Structure 1
Amino acid sequence: MKRLLKLISSPKTWWRQIKRTMDTSAPIVWFFILNVMLVWLKMFAEYHMNFNLGAEGATQQFLLFLNPIPTAIIFISIALYFRGALSYWLAIIFNLIQSVWLFANMLYYREFSDFLSMGILGSGSSTGNNLGKSIAAIIHWTDYLVFIDIIILIALVVFKQLTIDRKGVQKKFAILTTLFGVILMFVDYGIASTNRSGLLTRSFDNNYIVKYLGLNEYAVFNAVQTYNQTESRKRAKPTDLAKVKKFVATQKLPDNIQYYGTQKGKNVFMIHLESFQQFLIDYKVDGQEVTPNLNKFYHDQNTLSFDNFYNQVGQGKTSDAEMMQENSLFGLATGSAMVKYGTNNTFESLPAILGQRGYTTAAFHGDVASFWNRDNTYKSFGYDYFFSKSYYSNANKANYNIGYGMKDKIFLRDSAQYIEQLPQPFYAKLITVTNHYPYDLDKQNIDFPATKTGDNTVDGYVQTAHYLDQSFGELMTYLKKVGLYNNSVFVLYGDHYGISENHQPAIAQLLGKDKITNYDLANFQKVPFMIHATGLKGGINHTYGGEIDMMPTLLDVLGVPDDGMTMFGQDMLSSNYKGKVVFRDGDWITPTYTKFNNQYFNTQTGEQVTESADKQLKKVAKTMSAYATKVLGYSDEVITGDLLRFDTSRSDFHAINKKDYNYKKSAGLAALKKAQKSNPSSILAQNKGKSTLSDYVTDAPELKSDDSDK
């Protein structure tokens, strides 16, 4: 006992004892064991500190304890095949590789509640130009502690505090060690498969893979998954599409007679509300409404407002929302469908469908055209015009931009110069960006109080949302002045959550709760969905739905037949609509029950329920699980197999030719100029060539400063 107390109280004695033990025999083996233990310790600690894996019961807790070990053994055992100092450096390098992977996932998970994928890493060129600021806001100094052991190990080797094993170990021993890691991996998988059948074949949730198999194993699984997606196009055949269409036909619902075609021939404004969550509607801070303009719009008698509408995005976030909104296809389980498949795939998209019915189609975004591969994907979607950063002279001014593009007030004001030139009827999608993480706004644009949760990531959210609301109000005022408001349909939707579930203490304060449950987190996935038009019968609609349902619902209102279309959403206005919402990870919501983060709840009361205690739940859970697997799986097949290239069944739609589209500024401006004569139905043409930009009033301080300098 005295000896033990002496070791604890004296670090030098403690280190000498460890060194003596490591030096006695096969020092490299002890160094190998030390590295394995350190990798295990880091991963096991981070599983509990930074990841919300939802491990329940003794089996899952044991797997969480076990799963970092097999790959740590396999990777670091490579060092045992070498001798001398090289073996030590290899052990450190393989420790470092696993630590970097852990570190990267810690940061990514903190904001997106998901793990990095090969698809996301591969899309870096199309999304990475704006990520620096976001990462700076995410990172904590304590995150770097995952590398502290690496520094210590390097120091021990460099300063010769360890005895270098010149002999090494026998190859036989090295091989057996690697095999032991492989065996452990299979043991882990065997136990995991017993606890959750079909883990690798039916799961759409990456949290399950990491929880059961481990973070490193997830990387291998994801790489295989990504490879299979790439190869699926080669294997696809027309019969695959026939199978999908048979399923889609069973989901087709009758149109709502009260709404069908009531807005036929009107312009459509699709307004993309970046990171905007439903709870912001009517929300107040210090007695002030965060979004007074959107609140008024939401409650307007001519606005159909859905208050049980959910984002269903996966790793593609905004791009997934666009994929659903434009195509009624889910994003992929891994990566972004727009990035990976947007360039070459065939789509039956909303812009193309409306374009072939006489609409002019245009997308507006105040950032680089390549972000989320939009410059290529929008050609596949059939957009006539894509007004990106190069079209906006103000986009090159540093204080006119923030985070992911132009500030919304400036962006929307400057977009008016192109809106007024669009021949009518037109379909115009406006993508706002200021209300994007990290919710940072310069002082001259802040005129609203931040929340006081103490979470720096969260507290600025209401300020950027308020700025977005002001921008929206200015746009509506302009459209009313120039005569576009009454002849247009306005569709507003939030693309995904703004505050991730990793900020639960702050969320609790925002919602006025003591503690957040998974039921609360499920409801926190709600985003606005509104359809407004002069004369439209509006009201708050309590139907449960999601982003996958936007396209068929809008087609109903516009009176566009959807027979034969391959859509995985349903018309939310149909009297036969049941309100089944499927999330990208396989969780789901119905009007009666909710499944979220591996727990079940009564949707109406929020009470947690179990299958064993509720027979009706057991039946619903079985049905919804099968439906989720089928609808997500079929949607994935359509995208990864490019199945719509085989579709010859529709006489009212023809596949577009991407070569017909050119988004270069010179080409776009020339086409607009030509359109004023060939189709003089634009506001500019009707105004005999006189611009309406003077009717656009904004209080953007940047523009006022510029005006005062002239």
Structure 2
Amino acid sequence: MFFKKRYKGERMMKENKQFMSKTRSLLSTRMGFFLFAVILFWLKTYVAYQTKFSLGVSGSVQQFLLFINPISFTLLLFGISLFSKGKKSYIILLVIDFLMSTWLFANIVYYREFSDFMTINIIKGASAVSSNMDTSLKSLIHVSDFFVYLDIIVLITLLAFKIVKMDTRVLKKRIAFTVTALAVAIFAGNLSLAEMDRPQLLSRTFDRNYIIKYLGLTAFTVYDGVKTAQANSTKANADSSDMDEVLAYMKKNQVPANVNYFGKAEGKNVFVIHLESFQQFLIDYQSNGEEVTPTLNQFYHDSNTVSFDNFFHQVGQGKTSDAEMMLENSLYGLSQGSAMVTNGTENTFQAAPAILNQKGYTTAAFHGDVASFWNRDNAYKSWGYNYFFDSTYDSKGENFNVGYGLKDKIFLKDSAQYLEQLPQPFYAKMITVTNHYPYPLDEANATIPKTTTGDSTVDGYVQTARYLDEAINEFLTYLKTTGLYDNSVILMYGDHYGISSNHGKAVSQLLGTEEYTDFDDAMFQKVPFMIHAPGLAGGVNHTYGGEIDVLPTLLHLLGVDTKDYIQFGSDLLSDENKQVVAFRNGNFVSKQFTKLSGDVYDTATGELLTNLTPVQTAELKKEKDYVDTQLALSDKVITGDLLRFYTPDGFKPVDKTQYNYKYNKGIKQLANEAQKNRLIDKNNGNSTVDSYQTNAPELK
């Protein structure tokens, strides 16, 4: 028995050695090593799809396509190495593997923050958003993300320790061409099957998740490159006749102002307060029995505040910059990248600052961050801002900054010294930053416990939201003390989500629900929109709208006729508002329907509608056509720079050379504003800054 077991063990060892020997021999051939590299990359990509992204894969066809879609482009790109000889072929293969792996890694990290994929325009605008990403980047990168480089380590180890020998024999060109042809054939089959399951996949307004789950990340990158090139050529080939369709659309779709509100705030100062990453669910929300945002709750329900409880953010990849683009231009952000970055410098705009400046307003933006972030220093010139008070104007001190700029309490207090020097009426945009991912807040500033969902991204959110609320309370108190509160329109809005759809389980715990569906996520994209002014008939308005609608709503309150302007939004106070909210990926929410990719829900009940009546089908098509046209024409205006061909009556095109936001220039310009109806002049030349009370521990 002993000898029998020994013999069996020796035979297994011999077989294992023979298998290993054959495997080494196979991998020591060019094609063997090449195919091994392809398989490793294919499998790790599939694992990344399943574990790092939420692609919404359903059904056997989609699962199959997700599994096979990395093959074609891996074969195609890795196959480039087969056209070279000897060691050079191995080096090229490893370099291509490294570059593709790095692109996969970058998308994993980017997706974790934005629930989206990187595009050519995002890369082009990287310098405009990279200045202060260090803090977020450290939070976004997980150790497990580095598994995407594991295959490269394996391949290099095999070669470096000569476990596998390099095959320097010349490979016949027909083999390399055959691999290329095979890659093309596999992609063609992949695309055909995808089109059968999802018709017009590449031609319709698309959802990036669909492109990637059907065709793969590399295919999406190629597709995005083609679309970007097309967009660039659009601007070069555009002419004045392209405005005809836009003007006809505006004439047909503009809605009249509500006579009960038009001009009710005429001549008032305007504060636009940007509530960073602030979502509607926080209004009246309690954590452990304690109000998270008592100040904003009170403001929301004030009798002179019009608040909207069905107001949605509509941003795409540009996040905050998209919100600003919509808020001040009533133009949508682009489907790829940030319009402020790619088009903000050169394009012609007819933005809120320029419109109001020509109505006698002084216009100023305040932001405790570097001026170049999101290309603001250039875009604001195109929009006609007289002043831009960036981080160079702010106080410096230990622990003054967090993540994306100056902490809100310090930032708003610092802003007072410049506000009091602005000639009235003024239009002032205040961009807060503390309530920004990853929601870090030191213990000295935390006045409410974290939530306990177990999700580290989510649990700090209530703390930074409370901090923002306290900062707003201090700012409003200052406005009341100085009299500005009773002579101003105060508009507050949330720019985009704070908690992405990747954290559905934690959101369910926050909201006390049993599950978190796609419909729930769509409703979770609501953000606050509140307009306060003395004497304004307030209340909670249930109109469905979004950031695209803010500009015409505000201008009508200020008594500015918008009929000649190119604005894709509608006055939310108008009885004729269509109440259709377009999202950047082509989905939409209306009073009747919520359309999410291929699914349609009843907005009032959240019920999935599987058997639409003919009347419902016709109404859904009407709303979808409206959304598609809105997005397409807005894109046409931006990518073609069409506003250079059209000037509304009474509007003077912005001369960007008039503006300089450098600190020395700004301070000198303020000094020349003396005795021009400034707050400080009304206070007999005495500063009001001392009346600004803050409990910021950094300033004690």
Label 1:212 to 1:203 Cα distance change in 2 as closer, same or farther (>3 A).
farther
Label 1:574 to 1:15 Cα distance change in 2 as closer, same or farther (>3 A).
farther
Any conservation in 2 of the 1:64–1:214 contact (CA below 8 Å)? yes
> Structure 2: how far apart are the matches of 1:474 and 1:505?
35
Residue 605 (structure 2) aligns with: 605
> Structure 2: how far apart are the matches of 1:170 and 1:530?
70
Deviation at 1:625, TM superposition (A): 2.5
Label 1:654 to 1:201 Cα distance change in 2 as closer, same or farther (>3 A).
farther
Residues 369-388 of structure 1 aligned to structure 2 (within 5 Å): 369-388=371-390
Count of aligned positions: 694
Cα shift readout 1:54-88 (whole Å, capped 9, x = no counterpart):
22333322221221110000011112222333322
> Structure 1: how far apart are the matches of 2:670 and 2:26?
81
Which of 207, 223, 231 is the equivalent residue of 1:205? Answer: 207
Residue 316 (structure 1) aligns with: 318
Residue 490 (structure 1) aligns with: 490
Residues 23-172 of structure 1 aligned to structure 2 (within 5 Å): 23=25, 27-172=29-174
Is 1:668 the counterpart of 2:666? The answer is yes
Cα shift readout 1:373-401 (whole Å, capped 9, x = no counterpart):
10010010000110011111x1x324100
Deviation at 1:24, TM superposition (A): 5.0
Residue 707 (structure 1) aligns with: none
Deviation at 1:637, TM superposition (A): 0.8
Residue 392 (structure 2) aligns with: 390
Which of 636, 652, 655 is the equivalent residue of 1:654? Answer: 652
- Letter paired with 1:673: A
Any conservation in 1 of the 2:109–2:141 contact (CA below 8 Å)? yes
Any conservation in 2 of the 1:324–1:547 contact (CA below 8 Å)? yes
Is 1:470 the counterpart of 2:470? The answer is yes
Residue 242 (structure 2) aligns with: 240
- Letter paired with 1:634: L
Any conservation in 2 of the 1:73–1:178 contact (CA below 8 Å)? yes
RMSD: 1.9
- Letter paired with 1:404: Y
Deviation at 1:14, TM superposition (A): 5.5
Any conservation in 2 of the 1:255–1:571 contact (CA below 8 Å)? yes
Residue 521 (structure 1) aligns with: 521
Any conservation in 2 of the 1:83–1:165 contact (CA below 8 Å)? no
SS in 2 for 1:605: coil
Deviation at 1:686, TM superposition (A): 1.1
Deviation at 1:624, TM superposition (A): 2.6
Label 1:248 to 1:14 Cα distance change in 2 as closer, same or farther (>3 A).
farther
Gaps of 5+ in 1: 705-710
- Letter paired with 1:103: F
> Structure 1: how far apart are the matches of 2:139 and 2:418?
35
Residue 632 (structure 1) aligns with: 631
Deviation at 1:618, TM superposition (A): 2.7
Residue 260 (structure 1) aligns with: 262
SS in 1 for 2:685: coil
Any conservation in 1 of the 2:564–2:649 contact (CA below 8 Å)? no
SS in 1 for 2:169: coil
> Structure 2: how far apart are the matches of 1:412 and 1:584?
32
> Structure 2: how far apart are the matches of 1:570 and 1:6?
80
Is 1:700 the counterpart of 2:696? The answer is yes
Deviation at 1:263, TM superposition (A): 0.5
Residue 345 (structure 1) aligns with: 347
Any conservation in 2 of the 1:593–1:617 contact (CA below 8 Å)? no
SS in 1 for 2:594: strand
Residue 708 (structure 1) aligns with: none
SS in 1 for 2:563: coil
Residue 642 (structure 2) aligns with: 643
Is 1:690 the counterpart of 2:690? The answer is no
Any conservation in 1 of the 2:392–2:663 contact (CA below 8 Å)? yes
Residue 539 (structure 2) aligns with: 539
Residues 354-433 of structure 1 aligned to structure 2 (within 5 Å): 354-392=356-394, 394=395, 396-433=396-433
Cα shift readout 1:241-273 (whole Å, capped 9, x = no counterpart):
111111122110011011111111100000000
SS in 1 for 2:652: coil
SS in 2 for 1:666: helix
- Letter paired with 2:653: A
- Letter paired with 2:642: L
Q: In terms of mean alpha carbon deviation, does 22-31 or 167-176 score higher? A: 22-31
Deviation at 1:91, TM superposition (A): 2.2
SS in 2 for 1:98: helix
Deviation at 1:218, TM superposition (A): 0.7
Label 1:585 to 1:666 Cα distance change in 2 as closer, same or farther (>3 A).
same
Label 1:160 to 1:208 Cα distance change in 2 as closer, same or farther (>3 A).
same
Deviation at 1:168, TM superposition (A): 4.1
SS in 1 for 2:132: helix
- Letter paired with 2:173: K
Deviation at 1:279, TM superposition (A): 0.5
Cα shift readout 1:491-526 (whole Å, capped 9, x = no counterpart):
100000001101111111111112110011001101
User: TM-score, normalization: structure 1?
Assistant: 0.95
Deviation at 1:112, TM superposition (A): 0.7
User: TM-score, normalization: structure 2?
Assistant: 0.96
Any conservation in 2 of the 1:518–1:597 contact (CA below 8 Å)? no
Label 1:6 to 1:474 Cα distance change in 2 as closer, same or farther (>3 A).
farther
Residue 557 (structure 2) aligns with: 557
> Structure 1: how far apart are the matches of 2:657 and 2:27?
70
Cα shift readout 1:274-315 (whole Å, capped 9, x = no counterpart):
000001111111111110000000011111110011000000
Deviation at 1:220, TM superposition (A): 0.9
Deviation at 1:223, TM superposition (A): 1.4
SS in 2 for 1:364: strand
Residue 454 (structure 2) aligns with: 454
Deviation at 1:6, TM superposition (A): 8.7
Label 1:70 to 1:15 Cα distance change in 2 as closer, same or farther (>3 A).
farther
Deviation at 1:147, TM superposition (A): 1.3
Any conservation in 2 of the 1:26–1:169 contact (CA below 8 Å)? no
Residues 613-628 of structure 1 aligned to structure 2 (within 5 Å): 613-628=612-627
> Structure 2: how far apart are the matches of 1:25 and 1:697?
72
